[in-house]
Structure 1
Amino acid sequence: MQNKAEKIVLLGTGGTIAGTSAQAGDNVGYTAGQLSVGHLIAAVPALGHVPLEAEQVAQLDSKDMSHAVWQALAQRVAAHLARPDVAGVVITHGTDTLEETAWFLHRALAPQKPVVLTCAMRPASSLQPDGPQNLLDAVTVAQSAVAQGVLCVAQGQVLAAEDVRKVHGYRIDAFSAGDAGPVARVEEGQLIALRPWPQAQALGLAAIAQDVAQWPRVGLVCSHAGAEPWAVEAAVAAGLQGLVVEGTGNGTVHHGLEAALHKAQSAGLRVLRASRCVAGGVVGAPTGALPSAGGLTPAKARVELLLQLLAKAST
């Protein structure tokens, strides 16, 4: 079911989907973020009948995503969703930090209309680019009268912001929703829902409105064999307000690191414990364990902790 008479806004941020290479057969040595979102639309003739509005918010390789771009993107998404003529928003994005941006937008805005991030693993100049089909599928989802929340679309799968994670560095089927599975799929232009659409309590734009230079500093450290406390001690000395530890297995943390984290937590540092495993998250809370990030990936746990600190500061 689609709202064909309503407008879809496409916001470009760069990424591989907008990348080009000097050689069409090169799917690795390309430069991301070279084409405008207008160029991406022009490469998909099937979008010619869709009422679209395009805006370039940023033009970068998503490995270089910044808090400033997140803030601007959230503000533009909110502004467009507030328009009665807009059915949904599509964001073209790089794959490296897509899951982080998705979680940031979902927690900040929790939109009732669909906000759909899409991407590509091959540049636009590839012999077989995957971006055009992903973009067409993303617009299909954004047009839906039933889809809602922040979603990610790639290879025909519709993944919720909470669940999506990049699980492969090269293949075009690089994204997974882990144990949760996709919320829907797109088949030949048809959206097929599989489970309820994601819900969240919006923190609101006020929580992220302050100058990003004043945002809390939140870092990420990794537990591993032979881990020592120096990374935690350095974070504390640098004045960080939050720290996520990427634990092994079910969020377990090397004793040399764990003691330093408990000490830092007692001194006021906010800490979350995630898992470095490709699938699953942190289950349970043993006595004395550091606070859990649940099913969030370490990267999304850092975003969550940042947003919690921002929300606290704005109240």
Structure 2
Amino acid sequence: MKSFMYVRAHSVDEATAAHAGRPTSRYLGGGTNLVDLMKLGVEHPETLIDVSRLPLDTVEELHDGSVRVGAAVRNSDLAAHPLVRDRYPVLAQALLSGASGQLRNVATTGGNLLQRTRCPYFQDLGKPCNKREPGTGCAARDGVHRDHAVLGHSPLCIATHPSDMAVALAALDAQVELQGTRGSRTLPAAEFHRLPGDRPEQDTEIVHGELITGVVLPAATAGVPSAYRKARDRASYAFALASVAVVLDIDDAVVRKVRIAFGGLAHRPWRARRAEEELLGDAPTDEAFLRAVDAELAAAEPLPENAFKVPLARNIAVDVLRRLAASRTAS
């Protein structure tokens, strides 16, 4: 039994001050990932700062037409919210494809963004893992790596980020709001998570002590046709082998706006900017979709057991683009 301190924060300022003053502290929201890792011995915080009761649990429309989602909003509530279902269907679909209904009832927006990899070597204290213990090695490289990264990985880590929600947020150009003892700031959702590089233990760009207070869904992508597709080993309660979030606007038979993000392929949601550049201003044809997605996936460096992810990601991305284009033409 490992003891730890428990602090129930009554304000954001109180939470960030408590966190910043304790190097091994962790924020506790829904706890659906953190508590599991504590039980496994992967996470061993000296202090848990409970932020679940802070007034960060609302979804509200802002004056400019954007939508702000509090960090404590539950995944189930967010997926069912009329503003999200109507204006950002890609986000509702991504949320509903994640975990189980019971977990979505507990998991929070902020916690979803901060969940850690489900790599089995990260969770096994008997195996070397640079993400868990920097400098020990990456057991997955020469081990079972079927589920691991094909884009953006490094010699130190080939883990993937497990969130479905984060992939949709990256495609929507969402902004993540942070507050710490030195003030507040925002980060684009597509840049919130890091590639492993030489510091795989650092998942995000958060500075110690900062708290996610909310996510802003921009007005610019509100109401634009969008969709999420996830390929996995079973229909429920499984992480993505590959997934894609697409926002696609077509006018006068030309692609006027396109946002594409892949999940299950990298250490973070992979924003497909090369594919977007290829498609912008082009006709929405199957040939154009194939050419753009292939240009993006040309950077893939699959390992022996996960080369299948490249054609899998290609096929689901092209299919989602094709279906969105067809629905736009039909309307």
Which TM-score applies when normalising by structure 2? Answer: 0.30
Which TM-score applies when normalising by structure 1? Answer: 0.31
Which structure ranks higher in relative contact order (CA pairs < 8 Å, sequence separation ≥ 6)?
A: 2
